Structure 1
Amino acid sequence: MNKFFLIAFISMSVLFLGAFSGSFEDAEKLTVEGKLDDALKVYKSILDRDSTSARAYRGIGLALWTGGRSDQAIKFYERALEIQPELVQAHTDLSIIYSALYQHKLAIQYAEKALQISVDITNQLNYANVLWRAKRYEDAAQQYQKVISYNDQNIDAYIGLGSTYLALAKLNDALDVLNLAIKVDSENVDAFFNRGVVQSKQGKYDQAISDFQKVLDLQPNYPEVHFQIGYAYQLLKRYKLAINTYQKSLKIDSYNAVVYYHLARCHALEGNINIAKRLRQKAKNFQEYNDHIEEARAYINKYPDKPEGYMRLANLHTQRKEWQEAIWNYQFAISVDSKS
């Protein structure tokens, strides 16, 4: 056991106070139910009986990751793989964690390793998703197609392929795939949302609004849908409706620079020049912040073993009082720095 893992293990000991016993099934059920501290106690009791249980270390990693403690989770996943290098679930989980952390090279490596161990449909789909998040869209499209060739009812693969074609500006292909997705699942909000975006880009604004309204009917707080409806109204020159809809979008995401920009544009077209100026300045300020976020993420992807990128990201999240994200990145900075 290396010293960094030992430190992480000791730091978790406060969660394991008191006698606790149970099975893997108990721990996994507790994790699904969100009773993470209890799940951790069960896994610890399993390790007390068998200190070389890779499944238990992976379970602790999963519980920590579920609770938002990715930096600590990674150490337990690594320990699981030291014991059992072919533990496919650990490779898959780490690919998702690193992808969420914008460390795409590592994410792809773990996803590929999972596929080498097992070519089941779950790992095939995860590999496609990891490629998509890394913006390797052509590769992602091929992988989604492979999943569909194995299972032509896989809704996630259809949505992934549709969103990939959308990213590649292959709008007709995207529309065809998303129509198939809706045939597979006629109430899938992601399918309707993506089809709405495609139709908006094709100039079919009324059809797009209809799809977006379907999303709202199914999931009222779906991210971005109010913005997309507002944008369609804006392109139809129905500026008052666009303004009202953009304002609804800002109630969900009050820092969205793009929404502020378009809201400013609509107010300007309605003759509300002073309001438009104020909103434009807000859009500029938020966009500068977003640019700094993207720069920090790009730095992390390029230099995942340096603490500076995590520190930059943590400081930026602190500015917006996004405390949990700030804490995660400060913890990663400390963890990375301790290894250098």
Structure 2
Amino acid sequence: MLNFQLGKSVDGEVVKISYGDKGNATGFFVPAPDQVCSVLTARHALPASGKLKLQTSDNKLWEPANIQRFPNQDLAVVTFKPGESNCPYQAFRLGNFEQVKLGDSIKILGFSQSADSNQLASQSLSGAVTAIENLPDGYGISYKTPANKGMVGAPVLNQAGEVIAVNGRNIREIARLAELKGAVPPQQLSTANSNQGSNSAVEVVNWGIPINIYMANAPIIPTEAVANSTAPKSAAEWLKIGNDFYISQQYEAALKGYDQALKIEPKYVLAWLYKGSLLLELKRYQEAVSNYDRALQFKPDSTVALSNRGLALDHIQKYEEAIASFDKAIKLQPNAPEVWTGRCYALAKLQKYQDAIASCEVAIKIQPEYSDAWNNRGYVLNQVQQYDQALLSFEKAIEFEPNNAEAWANKGLALDHLQQNAEAIAAYDQAIKLQPNYAQAWYGRGNALFSLNKPKDALAAYNKAISLKPNYQQALNSKSAVLAALQRNQDNVAAEGQTPHVKVDNYNN
């Protein structure tokens, strides 16, 4: 029995789940039939092969007899046989999620990611319930805690020490999950810190699966060891595993999951679509186009494939082909704002600016709070030197998505053009705060600093941009101009009129 100062002792034991050098997660004992120990955890915390070890409070290591992955919820049950006796480890008491209210205090019990693999370094995290919603994969409760990866699958307890949920994902992963499933992301995302890492020490919003979901869908726990491999056997199972890894940003593992699904079922359109989306995120654009082509081979009317294919073609500068792909998607689904927005960008790249603005404005009419449409509209207005109007568009984009680093950088660019250099630096700083490795934002910051006759600071910003993007020719040119100015002025003060004439790019690439 562990006492985590909940106000009452906790009647239940947690388990450390380890899988080689790939990390660890947490599970906890739940009631099970005689002669079987049953551990509940999150489905996405388990490797596809099922080759893992369970470490109990007495430092014993157990191999699973069976792993049962819930098909529609991010839950899994791992069972093992303790020998001839009944399970010697105490199961947690399961609470009633229906009684949970906003603001209720909670505790999460588990093991941190940094814990030594041979030691049971338990951790207790306090928090409070911040939202109760119905989201994909069974998620339904959020709370603010400093939980990290090692706490995935841990029990979330109420003040009585009863389990009310299974800890699962952070807010950023939930947003990715909602996007993947075509659902609306939780409202909290607009105020979440986009840089919060999975091991962040600061407070972050995390989500769990209500325990009632487990109780309603619990499979029958087998009482005999399963000799056969518990690795997934169907294409649908491999697809779920690919998605789990994708949401957790374990991209190579996700690709393997999708490839396994396609090996079993080569005409599996969803697998081609998800793999294409992952390749798009990895900036492997030509491969993404090929994946979407395969999806369209089997489902020619897939608006997702046509739209995302257009986005990938945008990135490899095949703008005419991109527009053709967007137009086909619009013919099938005219009210998709993301398609009109992608089309807007491609038209702008072909210098068809009025058509581009019109396309973005259709997207805004369909979805007035669509940040990307406002951002792309501002990009086009910057191109035609309507900087005041561009600035208003970028501010709208930021209003609807405060963590949109690209919109902040573009706002800085518009302010640069309006010679509001100090305000531009503040905008670039916000973009960098949200995305520290944003080379274009560092470059823009350097331009604004040089315009304020701060060549040393400008040089540092250019150097940072070049370190992030070594072949960044505009930053290299600007650095050369700054060095020349410094050489001309031994006092390191840029003389009036010596601001280099450098081309400032937009930050939509």
TM-score of the superposed pair, with normalisation by structure 1: 0.70
Label 1:218 to 1:169 Cα distance change in 2 as closer, same or farther (>3 A): same
Cα distance in 2, alignment partners of residues 60 and 173 from structure 1: 42
1:189 equivalenced with 2:371 (yes/no): yes
Counterpart CA distance in 1 for 2:436 and 2:444 is 14
Percent identical among aligned pairs is: 22
Segments of 5+ residues of structure 1 without an aligned counterpart are 1-7, 295-340
Indicate whether 1:30 and 2:212 are aligned. no
Structure 2 match to 1:72 = 253
1:291 counterpart (453, 460, 470): 470
- Corresponding residue number in structure 2 for 1:83: 264
Q: In structure 2, do the counterparts of structure 1 residues 24 and 290 end up closer, same or farther at CA, with 3 Å as the change threshold?
A: same
> Contact between 1:99 and 1:133, CA under 8 Å: does it hold in 2?
no
Matched with 2:415 is 233
Q: 1:14 to 1:158 in 2, by over 3 A?
A: farther
Separation in 1, partners of 2:442, 2:168: 39
In the aligned structure 2, how far is the partner of 1:204 from the partner of 1:288? 32
Which residue does 2:234 correspond to in 1?
53
Moved more, 138-147 or 87-96: 87-96
| CA-CA distance at 1:178 after TM superposition | 0.6
Residue 249, structure 1, aligned to residue 435, structure 2: no
Mapped to 1, the partners of 2:466 and 2:258 lie a distance apart of 36
SS for the counterpart of 1:158 is helix
Closer, same or farther in 2 for the Cα pair 1:103/1:22, shift >3 Å?
closer
- Distance in 1 between residues matched to 2:385 and 2:325, nearest whole Å: 29
The answer to whether the aligner puts 1:212 opposite 2:394 as a matched pair is yes
Task: Report if the CA contact (8 A) 1:54-1:81 is conserved.
Answer: yes
- Structure with the bigger percentage of strand: 2
Q: Distance in 2 between matches of 1:248 and 1:26?
A: 37
Structure 1 residue aligned with 2:322: 140
SS at 1:24 equivalent: coil
The amino acid across from 2:371 in the alignment is: V
Matches within 5 A, 1:104-183: 104-119=285-300, 120-183=302-365
Distance in 2, matches of 1:32 and 1:267, equals 46
Mapped partners of 2:449, 2:305: distance in 1 = 48
CA separation in 1, counterparts of 2:66 and 2:362? 53
Shift, 1:277, TM fit: 2.3
Counterparts of 2:313 and 2:376, CA distance in 1: 19
Residues in 2 aligned to 1:95 and 1:25: alpha-carbon distance in whole angstroms? 23
Contact 1:258 1:283 in 2 (8 A): no
Secondary structure of 1:153's aligned partner: coil
Structure 2 vs 1, CA of residues 31 and 161 (structure 1 numbering), >3 Å: closer, same or farther?
A: farther
Conserved? CA contact 1:199–1:208, under 8 Å: yes
RMSD: 3.5
Aligned partner (choices 88, 93, 102) of residue 274 of structure 2: 93
SS in 1 for 2:405: coil
Q: Give yes or no for contact 1:96–1:130 (8 Å, CA) kept in 2.
A: no
- CA drift of 1:290 comes to 0.9
Aligned amino acid, residue 126 of structure 1: N
Per-residue deviation, 1:99: 2.8
Relative to the length of structure 2, the TM-score reads 0.49
SS in 2 for 1:25: coil
Alpha-carbon distance in structure 2 between the residues aligned to 1:114 and 1:265: 44
User: By how many angstroms is 1:17 displaced?
Assistant: 4.4
| Counterpart-to-counterpart distance in 2, 1:70 and 1:101 | 8
Corresponding residue of 1:322: none
The 3-state SS of whatever aligns with 1:26 is coil
Alpha-carbon contact 2:450-2:458 (below 8 Å) kept: no
Bigger Cα displacement from structure 2, 127-136 vs 74-83: 127-136
Give 1:213 deviation, angstroms.
1.5
Moved more, 27-36 or 127-136: 27-36
Q: How much does 1:151 deviate?
A: 1.9
- Structure that is richer in helix per residue: 1
